Structure 1
Amino acid sequence: MLLAVALATGAPSPAMFSAMVEDKRNLKERLGVIMSSKKQTKCTTVVSVMSIALIAAIGILAGCTPKAVPIEGPDISALMLTNVTVSAYDAVPLTWNVGQNTLQSTGTVVLHANNTDGEAKLCWLAPTPATTIDVVQQWGIKDKLPLMTTKSQNGLDIYTPPVGMQYQPGMGVLGTQPFVRWYVVDAVEGESFLTTQGSIVMSSSQKTLDGTILTVTEKSVWQTAVPAPKTLTLRATVPSSLAQMEILYGSGSTRKGFVFVEASPANAPINTPDSIWLLRMNSGVGSWVNCGDLSAFGGNIFSDQTSSFAHVGSLLYFTHGHSGIGCIDTAAASPSITSPKEISALLNKLYSGTPSNAEFPVQPQLASDGGALIIEYPDVNWNGIYYAVDASGTVLGSLRTDKTSVTSFDANGKQGSILPLKDAANNVRLPSIDLFQAVIF
Structure 2
Amino acid sequence: MKTTTSRFRPVMAIFTSILLAVVLVPTGCAPKVVPVEGPQISMMLETNFTSSEYDAGSLLLWNIGQNTLHISGTSVVHVSEIDYGGLPLFWQPGSPVRVVQQWGIPSKKALITATSKDIRMLVPPVGMQSAPTTGGLFTRWYVPEKDAFVVVPLEVSASSSQKTVMTVTEQGVASGSKSQLLTVPVPSGLAQIDVLYGSGSTSNGFVLVEARDNVVTNAADSLWLLHMNNRTGSWVRCGNLSAFGGSLIPDQSPSFARVGTLLYFTHSHTKIGCIDTTVVSPSVMLPEEINTLLVRLFKEGPQNAEGPLQAQLASSSDTLIVSYPDVHGNPVYYDVDISGTVLGSLRADKTSVTSFDANGKQGSSLKTPGSPGYVSFPSYDLFQGNIF
Aligned mates of 1:233, 1:413 — CA distance in 2: 51
Alignment of 1:228-307 (within 5 A): 228-270=176-218, 272-307=219-254
1:79 aligns with 2:26: no
Q: Out of 331, 338, 359, which is 1:412 matched to?
A: 359
- Cα distance change, pair 142–345 in 1 and its aligned pair in 2 (3 A): farther
* Separation in structure 2 between the aligned mates of residue 215 and residue 414 of structure 1, nearest angstrom: 51
Matched, 1:221 2:169: no
SS state at 1:243 partner: strand
Distance in 1 (alpha carbons) for counterparts of 2:153 and 2:141 = 12
1:77 Cα deviation after fit: 1.1
**Superposition deviation, residue 121 in structure 1:** 1.4
Q: Which residue of 2 aligns with 1:88?
A: 53
Q: Does 1:199 align with 2:155?
A: yes
Answering whether residue 58 of structure 2 is matched by residue 110 of structure 1, we say no
Pairing 1:135–2:88 present = no
Aligned 8 A contact 1:199 1:247 in 2: yes
Greater Rg over alpha carbons, structure: 1
SS in structure 2 of the partner of residue 164 of structure 1: coil
Counterpart amino acid of residue 183 in structure 1: Y
Contact 1:193-1:221 within 8 A present in 2 as well: yes
Offset at residue 154 of structure 1 (A): 1.9
The one-letter code matched in structure 2 to 1:185 is P
Structure 2 counterpart of 1:159, from 122, 129, 138: 122
Structure 1 position 336, deviation (Å): 1.0
The separation in 2 between residues aligned to 1:153 and 1:329, in whole angstroms, is 38
Structure 2 partner of 1:49: none
Q: Which residue pairs with 2:92 in the alignment?
A: 126
1:178 is aligned to 2:134: no
1:308 aligns with 2:255: yes
Deviates more, 1:151-160 or 1:232-241: 151-160
- 1:103 deviation in Å? 0.7
Secondary structure of the 1:434 match is coil
State the shift of 1:92 in Å.
1.0
2: CA distance between counterparts of 1:213 and 1:284? 15
The SS at the match of 1:374 is strand
* Residue ranges of structure 2 left out of the alignment (5+ in a row): 1-33
Inter-partner Cα distance in structure 2 for 1:376 and 1:237: 37
C-alpha distance in structure 1 between counterparts of 2:186 and 2:320, whole Å:
31
Mapped to 2, the partners of 1:145 and 1:198 lie a distance apart of 23
SS of alignment partner, residue 144 of structure 2:
strand
1:99 to 40, 65, 75: 65
Deviations 1:362-417 (A, max 9, x none): 01011113621111100110010000111101111000001200000001000011
CA distance in 2, matches of 1:181, 1:325: 24
Higher relative contact order (CA 8 A, sep 6+): 2
SS of match in other structure, 1:289: strand
Residues 275, 291 of structure 1: 8 Å contact kept: yes
Contact 1:245 1:262 in 2 (8 A): yes
TM-score, length-normalised on structure 1? 0.75
RMSD (Å) for aligned C-alpha atoms: 2.2
In 2 relative to 1, CA 352–70 (structure 1 residues): closer, same or farther, beyond 3 Å? closer
Question: C-alpha separation between the residues in 1 aligned to 2:173 and 2:196?
Answer: 24
Report deviation, 1:146: 4.1
Q: Paired residues, what number?
A: 354
Identity of aligned residues (%): 51
Cα distance in 2 between the residues matched to 1:144 and 1:376:
31
| Residue correspondence of structure 1 range 353-432 to structure 2 within 5 A | 353-369=300-316, 371-422=318-369, 424=371, 426-432=373-379
Higher helix share: 1
Alignment of structure 1 residues 7-22 onto 2, 5 Å = none
On the 8 A contact 1:75/1:95 being kept in 2, the answer is: yes
Evaluate the alpha carbon distance shift between residue 259 and residue 70 of structure 1 in structure 2; reply closer, same or farther with a 3 A threshold. Answer: closer
In the TM superposition, residue 117 of structure 1 has moved relative to its aligned partner by: 4.7
Q: Which has the higher strand share?
A: 2
In the TM superposition, residue 422 of structure 1 has moved relative to its aligned partner by 3.5
Cα distance 1:213–1:133, how it changes in 2: closer, same or farther (>3 A)? same
Q: More displaced, 72-81 or 383-392?
A: 72-81
| Match 1:350 to one of 297, 300, 325 | 297
- Quick one: which amino acid aligns to residue 77 of structure 2? L
SS at match of 1:100: coil
User: C-alpha displacement at 1:70, in angstroms?
Assistant: 6.8
Q: What's the TM-score, normalizing by structure 2?
A: 0.85
Corresponding letter in the other structure for 1:132: P
TM-superposed deviation, 1:176: 2.3
The 8 Å contact of residues 383 and 401 in structure 1, kept in 2 or not, is answered as: yes
Gaps in structure 1 of 5+ consecutive residues: 1-68
Q: What amino acid is aligned across from residue 397 of structure 1 in structure 2?
A: G
Query: Against the structure 1 CA distance between its residues 220 and 396, is the aligned structure 2 distance closer, same or farther, given a 3 Å change threshold?
Result: same
